Amino acid sequence: MAETKKDQTSTHKIGIYLWIWGLLFVLSFFSYMVDWYNFQGLLRWSLILFFMFLKAGLIMAFFMHLFWERYALVNVLLWPMTAIACFVGLMVAEGKYTVFSRLFYFFVGGA
């Protein structure tokens, strides 16, 4: 992530924090607008996830200073989280199968 490594005690300019802060407000506003305009289906989910990951990334990278950390720490944190995201995806797919088999056996009786 970071090409320029900074000493731990060095400070960053206040502008970067204000920029990220403003961006978080704008992104939150946009994700609220997704609900306000009542988007449905794939558009809704993809927009929600897009704004969510953007906000989470901004908070972690700049507010939590991960952008300025060395790779040893960044990778220890991000790979388990990536694995979790895959796990959530797997379980959603599994849930679709569960509801299918529930409906199938409740109403068709297994045929």
Partner 1 sequence: MSDLNLDKLPGGFKGMSEDIGSDQTTFKGVNWGKAMMWIFLLSDTFVFSCFLVAYMKVRASVVEPWPYPSEVFALEMFGVPVPLLLIAIMTFVLITSSGTMALAVKYGYEKNRKMCGWFVLLTAIGGLTFVGMQAFEWSKLIFHDGVRPWGNPFGAEQFGAFFFMITGFHGTHVSIGVIFLFIFARKVFRGDFDTGRRGYFTTMKSDYVAIEILGLYWHFVDLVWVFIFAFFYLW
Q: Does 104 bind partner 1 (CB under 8 A)?
A: no
The residue among 72 and 111 lying less far from partner 1, judged by its C-beta, is: 72
Given 3-state DSSP classes, what are the helix, strand and coil percentages for the chain, each rounded to the nearest 5?
80, 0, 20
> Is 69:48 a contact under the CB 8 Å cutoff?
no
CA–CA separation, 60 and 65 (whole Å): 7
- Binder among 43, 46, 71, 82 for partner 1 (CB under 8 A): 71
Q: How far is CA 78 from CA 9, 66, 72, 84, in A?
A: 24, 10, 10, 10
17 contacts partner 1 (rule: CB under 8 A): yes
- Under rule CB under 8 A, residue 82 binds partner 1: no
- CA 94 vs. chain centroid, Å, equals 21
- The residues that touch partner 1, with contacts defined as CB under 8 A, are 2-3, 5-12, 14, 17-18, 20-21, 24-25, 28, 31-32, 34-36, 38, 44-45, 48-49, 51-52, 55-56, 59-60, 62-65, 69-73, 75-77, 80-81, 84, 87-88, 91-92, 94-96, 98-99, 102-103, 106
